[in-house]
Amino acid sequence: MIKRRAFISFLIATVLTPLISKAASILDIFRAGKKKSPLPPEGKFTPVKSLYIVDIKGVPKAAKKIKKSPEKFRLKIYGNVEEPFEISLDELKKMPYEIKDVILECVSNPPGGNQIGRIRVKGVRLSYLLEKAKMKKDSVDVVFKCLDGYHTSVEVDYVKEFEPLVVYEINHDEDGKVLGELTLDHGYPVRIICPEKWGYKSAKWVNKIKVVKYDYKGYWESQGWSDRARYKVDYFDL
């Protein structure tokens, strides 16, 4: 009888308890998926003051200085191009622009988590700037370098298909009618917005755009996160 009881206790401890715990975890994930979405209703947007913040070092001092003297900012487009150039923030704003509605989400956002937002942004097509610089045909990646030391990249083919924007304005209201300059937390003076990619591709505080003819690995990509980073598809490069 003692041996039987001991066996039953052993069975509960080693088999049933882990199974119950695992089932509870799965149920928690299911419940999280059933919670009210952190995204605003269709047709509404996440105001910039409510948009999640992820970065590697906080707002860079250089961005704060540019905020006080925006005329000193220069965006450099260079690398594997025939005609590299630099432009000021005012010059960027005078170029043909587009307005896009995009869902921005952190790759590590848990089910039902709040690291997600629907935003409306205004900016210049990256492809327009690359055409102006006369990007060479053997180009592979476009690299974004930032004032805080962050860096990432996207594929040239992606740029042609999805038309990421070099953004200088974002919605400040939930109706998407009030577009204003980026806040410091969200990349002022210029950031990239990459539709259909995880948030870490939408680099903030961008001051250099470099075209390269090789597969570039950025800050997170070099640590194992997906280089392609297709939204809800790619997570890790193993």
Query: Which CATH number covers residue 203?
Result: 3.90.420.10
Rg for the chain (alpha carbons), in Å? 22
Task: Identify whether 234 is part of a domain.
Answer: no
Q: Give 150: exposed, middle or buried? Use CB within 10 Å, 0-12, 13-18, 19+.
A: buried
Residue type, position 136, single letter = K
* Contact between residue 170 and residue 182 where contact means Cβ atoms under 8 Å apart: yes
Nearest CA among 11, 33, 187, 23 for reference residue 104: 187
Provide the pLDDT for residue 90: 98
User: Are 25 and 45 found together in one domain?
Assistant: no
Q: What percent of the chain has pLDDT over 70?
A: 85
User: Are 44 and 3 found together in one domain?
Assistant: no
SS3 192: strand
What is the model's pTM?
0.85
User: Are 17 and 72 found together in one domain?
Assistant: no
In the predicted structure, residue 202 carries a pLDDT above the cut 80: yes
In the predicted structure, residue 209 carries a pLDDT above the cut 90: yes
Provide the pLDDT for residue 115: 98
User: Are 17 and 135 found together in one domain?
Assistant: no
User: Are 2 and 79 found together in one domain?
Assistant: no
Q: What rounded mean pLDDT belongs to the chain?
A: 89
* Contact between residue 142 and residue 156 where contact means Cβ atoms under 8 Å apart: yes
User: Are 23 and 61 found together in one domain?
Assistant: no
Task: Identify whether 232 is part of a domain.
Answer: no
Task: Identify whether 61 is part of a domain.
Answer: yes
Provide the pLDDT for residue 37: 77
* Contact between residue 213 and residue 206 where contact means Cβ atoms under 8 Å apart: no
Instruction: Determine the length of the chain.
Output: 238
In the predicted structure, residue 32 carries a pLDDT above the cut 50: no
Q: How confident is the model at residue 36 (pLDDT cuts 50, 70, 90)?
A: low
User: Are 46 and 29 found together in one domain?
Assistant: no
Q: What percent of the chain has pLDDT over 90?
A: 83
Task: Identify whether 229 is part of a domain.
Answer: no
Provide the pLDDT for residue 101: 98
* Better-predicted residue by pLDDT, 16 or 178: 178
Nearest CA among 117, 161, 115, 169 for reference residue 142: 161
Task: Identify whether 230 is part of a domain.
Answer: no
* Contact between residue 195 and residue 162 where contact means Cβ atoms under 8 Å apart: yes
User: Are 52 and 73 found together in one domain?
Assistant: yes
Task: Identify whether 56 is part of a domain.
Answer: yes
User: Are 162 and 183 found together in one domain?
Assistant: yes
In the predicted structure, residue 231 carries a pLDDT above the cut 50: yes
Domain that holds residue 147: 37-223
Total number of domains in the chain:
2
In the predicted structure, residue 70 carries a pLDDT above the cut 80: yes
User: Are 29 and 41 found together in one domain?
Assistant: no
Cβ count within 10 A of residue 114: 14
The mean pLDDT of 153-182, rounded to a whole number, is 98
* Contact between residue 173 and residue 45 where contact means Cβ atoms under 8 Å apart: yes
* Contact between residue 194 and residue 105 where contact means Cβ atoms under 8 Å apart: no
User: Are 12 and 109 found together in one domain?
Assistant: no
User: Are 26 and 74 found together in one domain?
Assistant: no
Task: Identify whether 75 is part of a domain.
Answer: yes
Tokens matching residue 173: 């209201």
Task: Identify whether 64 is part of a domain.
Answer: yes
